């Protein structure tokens, strides 16, 4: 905000060193300052949470910004076992593993057919899928709840998996059908001439060729499904033990407010943050590519 | 080649299409139908009541309060988030000069900045909301103790508990978690602008501000517009931050109530499923009007390069 007005006042100010051109020096110091400031604003809350997860309850309250006097690793083990974080973590792993596999399999199958075969209704089905990207999920939420209730899918892993798959299909199909269209058709034709069925051609020739695209959209879906909050908050509330990680953590925070185990809560928060941050740092190129491709359609 | 083609197509499309129809399309269609009924959601009987729910909605003070908040979010959030995103992306891609003999480059360490700025985007919004709920805690939160540490003992706001401040606190969190995405998005757009444009501008003696407004922004306009629509849809949601961070029903004195959370409480707490879907339809209409306005206002001559 104020940061944006900065350069408007500064241009043309001569650099004290002179060597860097008319606006190099001062403006570079200024712009680095602003960039570092935002970097701190992004990282400090995260570091504060990590720091608090190693403290005892008393020092969290009395000196929130001080370094922990000794490392209270028991916070982590307490959060992991007594506060059920391990169960929530496992629930998230089960649901996300199932829905990620289903999304990638079904999404790539549909995208392949829509991208590479001509048949009546192809465009209609494509836009039916892709149109789903632009509607707010919350509008469908109330009827969805009752659809799930009637099919006895509320509070079940497979119910959540099906819903996650359904809501991940639009972006997955949009992204992958674009990708399949760019693959050369000569390889697929050769396989078919050699006597491979369409199904076999898809699994043994086309899918391996689409690997970079599958990885990008796979990571994108992993982050989205792992971080999902709204859907489980509505469709998965019957059974305490079946909560997913973000949901379980929020429930914990509400009940913990009365029990006062703040250090355990911070440990839980960090346990929930670490896997995605680690996955992101390893795959940051693919994550950024996947996200921007989605928005730049 | 044609042998078994249609069997293959049907075989590959049937399951994805069925799942999508049951869990996405049918709920959307049903939502519109239920908005004309007095369904409670608790029992299976209901009757069609025409526009009663819509009439009720227009007379509902809390509905208008939520709409007001959503409109404020729609105006402030994209402006601040995209503004910061554009500024940082420009700094990271064009801002630095005279390095490695390249006339145009990002400032030093721009790769690292891009990675770090993106951190909040990969965290669950539930976790972000929880983290800031602690940070905003008036007694022992990070913010107030920071203020105390720099000698501002007298300034100890109640943040989320103060009806005047609560909504702004919620907005700050939404900006915090989204700026990184736009930095990356705009960086991707900026990297496709030909370098010669910048070099020519540089030779003509343009400074950075002129370069930004004359070259970068016009050539990036389509991306900015897409970003505006995305951020607007984000602003119309706000469910998780409001539900998790603010106390009471939609914050103190409904000061942070937004349509998404209002819909949720009507459907799953008050047993007014029919009325809740009406609110959903209203939300959809607001979304579409917003997208239409952005597209219309933003339309300008398309620049080819």
CB–CB contact B34 A142 (8 Å): yes
Count CA within 13 A, CB hemisphere, residue B144: 20
Site of tokens 């943040």: B159
> Best residue in A55, A143, A151 to probe B by mutation, most B CBs within 10 Å?
A143
State whether B273 and A142 contact (CB < 8 Å). Answer: yes
Per-residue confidence (pLDDT) for residue A98, from 0 to 100: 97
Q: What is the pLDDT of residue A287?
A: 78
B179-203: per-residue pLDDT in tens? Answer: 998 998 898 888 888 888 888 888 8
Tokens of A94: 């089960």
Question: Has residue A86 been placed in a domain?
Answer: yes
Evaluate whether residue A4 is within a structural domain.
Answer: no
CA B292 to chain CA centroid, Å, is 17
- Beta partners for B102? B99
The residues near A160 (Cβ < 8 Å, ≥ 6 apart) are: A95, A99, A231, A232, A235, A236, A244
Q: Which residue do the tokens 């909050």 mark? A: A229
Convert the pLDDT of each residue in B149-180 to its tens digit: 787 777 788 888 888 889 999 999 999 999 99
Residues A107/A172, Cβ–Cβ less than 8 Å: yes
Write the residue in A109, A198, A276 that is nearest to B123 by C-beta: A276
Asked if the structure places residue A120 within a domain, the reply is: yes
CB spacing of A144 vs B84 below 8 angstroms: no
Interface test with A, best of B2, B3, B11, B20 (most A CBs within 10 A): B20
Please judge whether B176 and A106 are an interchain contact, meaning their C-beta atoms are less than 8 angstroms apart: no
pLDDT for position B301: 56
3-class DSSP state of B62: helix
| Enclosing domain of residue A184 | 74-296
Task: Find, among B54, B1, B287, B125, the residue nearest to A191 by Cα.
Answer: B1
pLDDT digits (tens, 9 = 90+) for B270-287: 999 999 999 999 988 888
- Chain A positions touching B203 (Cβ under 8 A) are none
Q: Looking at beta carbons, which residues of chain B come within 8 Å of A143?
A: 26-28, 30-31, 34, 277
- Choose the closest CB to B277 out of A143, A269, A272: A143
Alpha-carbon distance of A61 to A48, in angstroms, equals 13
Facing residues of B37 across strands? Answer: B48
**How is residue B130 written in tokens?**
């929880």
Token pair of B38, please? 């007095």
Task: With CB atoms and an 8 Å threshold, state whether B114 touches A288.
Answer: yes
In this structure, is residue A2 part of a structural domain? no
Q: Could A61 and B80 be called an inter-chain contact, meaning their C-beta atoms sit closer than 8 Å? A: no
Helix pair angle (A2-9, A24-52), 10° resolution? 160
Tell how far CA B74 is from the center of its chain.
9
Straight-line distance from the first to the last Cα atom of chain B, in angstroms, rounded to the nearest whole number: 41
B231-248 pLDDT, tens per residue?
Answer: 888 888 888 889 898 876
Instruction: Please tell me which of the candidates B117, B129, B273 has its beta carbon nearest to residue A38.
Output: B117
Number of structural domains (chain A) is 1
pLDDT of residue A292: 72
Q: Average pLDDT for consecutive 10-residue bins of chain A (297 residues)?
A: 37 38 59 89 92 84 76 85 88 96 97 94 94 83 93 94 96 91 86 88 91 87 90 88 90 75 88 88 81 62
Q: Indicate yes or no: CB of A276 within 8 angstroms of CB of B34.
A: no
B158 C-beta neighbours (distance < 10 Å), count: 16
Closest Cβ opposite residue B127 in set A113, A134, A269: A269
Nearest CA to A119 out of B9, B204, B104 is that of: B9
CB A146 within 8 A of CB A234: no
Helix pair angle (B221-237, B61-90), 10° resolution:
140
pLDDT of residue A257: 64
ipTM: 0.85
Of A32, A46, A60, the CB nearest to B107: A32
Predicted local confidence at residue A12, as pLDDT: 38
**Residue A23: closest CA among chain B residues belongs to which residue?**
B207
In the three-class reduction of DSSP (H, G, I as helix; E, B as strand; rest coil), residue A283 is classed as coil
pLDDT score of A296: 56
- Provide mean pLDDT across the span B214-239: 86
Among A15, A34, A35, pick the best mutation site for testing chain B contact (most B Cβ within 10 A). A35
Fold exhibited by the domain B61-298? MetI-like fold (1.10.3720)
CA nearest A21 in B: which residue?
B98
Per-residue pLDDT band at B302 (split at 50, 70, 90):
low
Q: Which residue of A has its CA nearest to B147?
A: A65
Q: Give, in degrees to the nearest 5, the angle at Cα B192 between B83 and A290.
A: 75
**pLDDT tens digit sequence for B103-136:** 566 777 788 898 999 999 899 999 999 999 888 9
- pLDDT score for A28: 67
Of A59, A20, A244, A143, the C-alpha closest to B29 is: A143
Helix axes A157-182, A122-131, angle to 10 degrees: 120
The set of long-range contacts for A41-46, using a CB threshold of 8 Å and a minimum separation of 24, is: A41/B176, A42/B116, A42/B117, A42/B119, A42/B120, A42/B176, A42/B180, A43/B116, A43/B119, A45/B131, A45/B132, A45/B135, A45/B142, A46/A273, A46/B119, A46/B131
* Mutation site, A113, A142, A154, A295, interface B, largest B CB count within 10 A: A142
Distance CA B83, CA A65 (A): 31
Closest CA to A8 of B78, B207, B103, B182: B207
Q: What is the pLDDT of residue A21?
A: 45
By Cβ distance, the residue of B12, B121, B135 closest to A45 is: B135
Q: Between vectors from CA A131 to CA A126 and to CA A135, what angle results, nearest 5°?
A: 160
User: Which residues from chain B sit within 8 angstroms of residue A22, using beta carbons?
Assistant: 207
Half-sphere exposure of B37 (CA within 13 A, CB side): 18
Report the phi/psi class of residue B48: left, alpha or beta, with left for phi > 0 and alpha for psi in -120 to 50: beta
Distance CA B176, CA B232 (A): 15
Among B58, B23, B78, which Cα is nearest to B231's?
B78
Q: What length is written for chain A?
A: 297
Looking at CA atoms only, how far is residue A213 from chain B in angstroms? Answer: 17
In this complex, the residue of A35, A140, A197 whose CB is nearest that of residue B27 is A140
CATH number at residue A140: 1.10.3720.10
């Amino acid at each position: 905000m104020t940061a944006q007005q900065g350069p408007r006042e500064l241009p043309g100010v001569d650099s004290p060193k002179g060597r860097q051109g008319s606006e190099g020096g001062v403006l570079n110091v200024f712009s680095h300052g602003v960039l570092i400031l935002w970097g701190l604003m992004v990282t400090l809350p995260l570091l504060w949470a990590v720091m608090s997860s190693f403290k005892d309850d008393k020092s969290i309250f009395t000196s929130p910004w001080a370094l922990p006097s000794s490392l209270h690793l028991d916070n982590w083990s307490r959060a992991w076992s007594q506060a059920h974080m391990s169960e929530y973590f496992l629930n998230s792993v089960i649901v996300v593993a199932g829905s990620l596999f289903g999304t990638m399999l079904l999404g790539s199958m549909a995208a392949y057919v829509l991208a590479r075969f001509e048949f009546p209704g192809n465009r209609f089905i494509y836009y039916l899928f892709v149109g789903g990207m632009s509607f707010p999920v919350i509008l469908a939420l109330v009827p969805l709840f009752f659809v799930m209730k009637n099919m006895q899918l509320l509070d079940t892993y497979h119910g959540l998996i099906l819903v996650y798959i359904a809501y991940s299909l639009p972006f997955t199909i949009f992204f992958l059908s674009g990708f399949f269209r760019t693959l050369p058709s000569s390889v697929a034709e050769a396989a078919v001439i050699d006597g491979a069925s369409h199904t076999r051609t898809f699994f043994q020739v086309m899918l391996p060729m689409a690997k970079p695209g599958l990885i990008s959209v796979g990571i994108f879906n992993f982050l989205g499904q792992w971080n999902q909050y709204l859907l489980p908050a509505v469709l998965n509330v019957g059974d305490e033990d079946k909560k997913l990680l973000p949901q379980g953590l929020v429930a914990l925070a509400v009940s913990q407010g009365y029990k006062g185990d703040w250090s355990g809560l911070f440990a839980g928060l960090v346990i929930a943050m670490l896997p995605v941050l680690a996955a992101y740092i390893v795959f940051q190129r693919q994550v950024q590519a996947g996200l921007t491709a989605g928005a730049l359609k | 080649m044609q042998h078994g083609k249609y069997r293959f197509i049907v075989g590959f499309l049937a399951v994805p299409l069925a799942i999508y129809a049951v869990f996405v399309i049918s709920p959307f269609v049903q939502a519109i139908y239920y908005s004309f009924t007095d369904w409670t959601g608790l029992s299976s009987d209901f009757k069609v009541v025409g526009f009663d729910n819509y009439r009720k909605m227009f007379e509902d003070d809390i509905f208008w309060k939520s709409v007001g908040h959503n409109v404020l979010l729609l105006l402030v959030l994209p402006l601040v988030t995209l503004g910061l995103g554009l500024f940082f992306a420009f700094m990271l891609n064009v801002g630095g000069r005279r390095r490695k003999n390249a006339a145009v480059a990002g400032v030093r360490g721009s790769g690292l900045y891009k990675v770090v700025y993106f951190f909040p985007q990969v965290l669950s919004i539930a976790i972000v909301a929880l983290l800031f709920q602690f940070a905003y805690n008036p007694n022992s939160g990070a913010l107030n103790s920071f203020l105390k540490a720099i000698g501002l003992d007298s300034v100890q706001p109640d943040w989320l508990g103060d009806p005047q401040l609560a909504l702004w606190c919620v907005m700050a969190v939404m900006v915090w978690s989204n700026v990184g995405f736009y930095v990356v998005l705009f960086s991707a757009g900026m990297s496709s602008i030909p370098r010669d444009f910048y070099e020519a501008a540089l030779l003509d003696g343009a400074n950075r501000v002129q370069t930004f407004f004359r070259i970068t922004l016009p050539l990036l306009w389509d991306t900015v517009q897409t970003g505006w629509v995305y951020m607007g849809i984000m602003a119309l949601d706000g469910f998780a931050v409001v539900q998790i961070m603010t106390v009471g029903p939609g914050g103190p004195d409904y000061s942070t109530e937004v349509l998404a959370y209002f819909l949720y409480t009507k459907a799953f707490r008050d047993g007014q499923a029919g009325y809740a879907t009406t609110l959903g339809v209203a939300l959809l209409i607001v979304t579409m009007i917003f997208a239409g306005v952005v597209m219309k206002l933003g339309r300008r001559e398309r620049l080819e390069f």
